[in-house]
Amino acid sequence: MAVVEWKKDESVALVTMTNGENRHNPDFVKDMLGCLEQIKADADIKAVVVTSNDPKNFCLGVDINWLGGRMGEKDMESIKKWMYGMNDVFKAFLLFPKPVIAAINGHAFGNGAIMACSCDFRFMRADRGFFCFPEVTIGIPFLPGMIAFVRKALPEYKFNEMYLTGKRVGAAELAQHGIIEKASAGQDELMADAVGFAKTLSLKPGIFGEMKKRKHKAIIDIMDREDPPYVDSLFLMVQD
């Protein structure tokens, strides 16, 4: 069963993560990239909304159980392949030739919050969920590319606070600092806001994709040049 699915809502592709906490593992990479390729090829689609069907969580990030199992088996090649795959997901959002909007319907932690930052726009429920980067408390540092593209979504002073403290932030605070477009009152309003906004966008994918490519060139260069040494050495955790 797919862990990411999509359907059309007029000119909008509604991408739904369907696996509860929506942890990132190889199945997530495969299904998300597969959906995005199908959407890219559909000329009728003008924008994309990414959300979750879980009532509590948008995405809680890395699948720790899968990662721990692979580490226990000393299957480092699978871990490296997955890390490069996640970078492919982030790059797909950063370079997607149609607007990508995250509809954050619950908790977005770690890789889930990072993924939301790779999208072009973000909406979030005001009545449920926190947005945070707990990596500093669990000992898994950002890759250089992650730092680069999260900075495009957060003002530097807020990125510094959240990155170095792991602070949990709600939608109202995110809206106050321009990290999301709107803190929506509830689930129905969230989807109405995100999909309604997406339907206002009818941009030519050629020029839109080129503008994103130029805008994010430095980020992609960092991901291609600086991330591999960390991935290849599996510099995943830092301990005292």
Q: What pLDDT shows up at residue 236?
A: 59
Distance in angstroms (rounded) separating the CA atoms of residues 112 and 107: 8
Task: Map residue 124 onto helix, strand or coil.
Answer: strand
Grade residue 196 by pLDDT with cuts at 50, 70 and 90.
Answer: very high
Q: What pLDDT shows up at residue 234?
A: 81
Domains contained in the chain, CATH given: 4-199 (3.90.226.10)
Following DSSP, what letter does each residue of 68-121 receive, concatenated? HHHHHTT-HHHHHHHHHHHHHHHHHHHH-SS-EEEEE-SEEETHHHHHHHHSSE
Q: State yes or no: pLDDT of 240 exceeds 90.
A: no
Do 92 and 33 contact (CB within 8 A), yes or no? yes
